[in-house]
Amino acid sequence: MHRRLAAALATPALALVGVLGTATAADAVPADKAQVLASWTQTSASSYSQWLAARNNQSAWAAYQFDWSTDYCSSSPDNPFGFPFSTACARHDFGYRNYKAAGTFSANKSRIDSAFYEDLKRVCNNYSGATKTACNSTAWTYYQAVKAFG
């Protein structure tokens, strides 16, 4: 009896860990949408990687009804001076659109903006010297714009 109860209690917990720890939800029990959204909008590189993997396999997440639409960097260039910022802008849009739909945008805006800045800086880490400096300056400008106007 204890073994069956322990197995029954462990299964949902393991499924939740599987959903949040990977970007393939097809065989997992759906976790709370808010938890998944939160896990994909953190500042860490792993959060970004999990979101990107999910974005590339949106059909696996269809049950969550996330808004994956994006206008990338809105009215700013998506790839300013050749720096590929479009994917960072898409994740930023994902956070804004889904937290607005959930009615919890204002409580999460600062973190979404910070995650955006971290994503942009990760792009800039692919450069060195004056090019990296120019990229970081551009990233800072984009971040200040979303903080003020986003």
2 is catalytic: no
Cα torsion through 56, 60, 66, 67, rounded to 10: 40
User: SS3 for 73?
Assistant: coil
Q: At what angle do helices 86-102 and 45-55 cross, to 10 degrees?
A: 80
Which residues 6+ apart lie within 8 Å of 125 measured at CB? 132
Which is it for the CA torsion 113, 130, 74, 142, positive or negative? positive
Catalytic residue, chosen from 19, 36, 92, 94, is 92
Identity (one letter) of the amino acid at 73?
C
What 8-state DSSP symbol labels residue 71?
A: -
Active-site residue list: 92
